[in-house]
């Protein structure tokens, strides 16, 4: 494991272990597909931005990318991807408390798929800690999931552009014309680059609703022995 990946996984000190359940197996699981689709449909009904395939795919792939770039093990990269794919599945129950609902649902799904208990526990902990109100980076996959989830700000997540005049969350997401997360392992730096159309939303509005998420992302990057930088329209703000 690279020095950039600060926290070793005690389950892997015995050497590389094969991934019994892979991220692709999870995302293609028929029950997972059903729950994710229905969860996103429920959120659409109550006016939330998209939390469907595009969001979970981006979050899962980005979480895996972060750990892969930092030299973490294949197992942890795989767990980060799975946590990203499953982190919002609990919205099928209710938006409130969805990190905990998602973690419990992940337990049942992954156990039925034959995943080892230690890996399930790591994924459950990552999912249960991804919300900025109560969450904390408690493992490498958890830290990667936090950064991946909080960095997914973009126009295509807005379902109804006509609402941007009335809803600040829709307005800020719609103003984000570009969102890119870059890992620079040699500098021990994780960078979120955003392009925001300031004719739609101001940078101040972005911080009004996302400051707590950026602070959590910085804590997650620090857990991974990295610094976190936020660049908006080419200007470093964090």
For residue 85, give the nearest of 114, 108, 61 by alpha carbon. Answer: 61
**pLDDT tens digits, residue range 123-168?**
999 999 998 878 899 999 999 999 999 998 888 788 888 878 778 8
- Asked whether residue 196 is assigned to any structural domain, the reply reads yes
Provide the CATH number for the domain around residue 112: 1.10.3210.10
Range of the domain at 230: 20-236
Average pLDDT over residues 182-203: 95
- Asked whether residue 14 is assigned to any structural domain, the reply reads no
Higher pLDDT, 210 or 161: 210
- Asked whether residue 139 is assigned to any structural domain, the reply reads yes
Structure tokens at 182: 């870059």
Q: Tell me the DSSP string of 121-190.
A: HHHHHHHHT-STTT----SHHHHHHHHHHHT---GGG-S-GGGGGT-HHHHHHHHEEEEEEEEETTTTEE
Structural domains counted in the chain: 1
Q: What is the mean pLDDT of the chain?
A: 90
The pLDDT assigned to 1 comes to: 37
pLDDT tier at 189, thresholds 50, 70, 90: very high
Phi, psi of 186 (to 5 degrees): -65, -25
How far apart CA 176 and CA 227 sit, in angstroms, is 23
SS3 category, 14: coil
**pLDDT tens digits, residue range 22-54?**
999 999 999 999 999 999 999 888 877 878 788
Entry pTM: 0.90
- Asked whether residue 10 is assigned to any structural domain, the reply reads no
- Asked whether residue 200 is assigned to any structural domain, the reply reads yes
Are 110 and 26 spatial neighbours (Cβ–Cβ below 8 Å)?
Answer: yes
The pLDDT assigned to 2 comes to: 42
The pLDDT assigned to 4 comes to: 56
What is the torsional sign of CA 83, 86, 87, 93? negative
- Asked whether residue 6 is assigned to any structural domain, the reply reads no
- The CA–CA distances, whole Å, from 39 to 93, 95, 156 equal 8, 9, 18
Can you list the alpha helix ranges (DSSP code H) found in the chain?
A: 23-27, 30-45, 53-69, 74-86, 98-112, 117-128, 140-150, 168-175, 203-223
pLDDT tier at 6, thresholds 50, 70, 90: low
Average pLDDT over residues 86-102: 93
- Asked whether residue 71 is assigned to any structural domain, the reply reads yes
- Asked whether residue 128 is assigned to any structural domain, the reply reads yes
Phi, psi of 194 (to 5 degrees): -120, 145
Residue 13 CA neighbour count, 13 Å, CB half: 5
């Amino acid at each position: 494991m690279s020095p950039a990946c600060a926290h070793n996984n005690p389950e892997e000190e015995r050497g590389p272990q094969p991934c019994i359940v892979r991220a692709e197996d999870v995302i293609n699981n028929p029950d997972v597909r059903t729950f994710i689709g229905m969860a996103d449909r429920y959120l659409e009904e109550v006016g939330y931005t998209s939390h469907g395939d595009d969001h979970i795919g981006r979050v899962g792939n980005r979480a895996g990318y972060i750990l892969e770039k930092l030299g973490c093990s294949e197992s942890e990269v795989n767990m980060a991807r799975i946590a990203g794919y499953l982190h919002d599945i609990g919205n099928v129950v209710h938006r409130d408390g969805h990190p905990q609902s998602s973690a419990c649902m992940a337990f049942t799904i992954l156990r039925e798929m034959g995943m080892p208990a230690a890996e399930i526990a790591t994924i459950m902990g990552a999912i249960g800690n991804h919300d900025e109100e109560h969450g904390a980076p408690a493992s490498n996959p958890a830290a990667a999931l936090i950064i991946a989830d909080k960095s997914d700000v973009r126009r295509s997540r807005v379902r109804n552009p006509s609402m941007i005049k009335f809803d600040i969350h829709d307005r800020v997401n719609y103003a984000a014309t570009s969102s890119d997360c870059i890992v620079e392992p040699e500098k021990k730096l994780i960078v979120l680059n955003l392009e925001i159309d300031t004719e739609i939303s101001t940078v101040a509005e972005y911080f009004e609703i996302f400051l707590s998420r950026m602070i959590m992302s910085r804590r997650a990057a620090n857990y991974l022995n990295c610094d976190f930088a936020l660049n908006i329209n080419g200007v470093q703000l964090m």
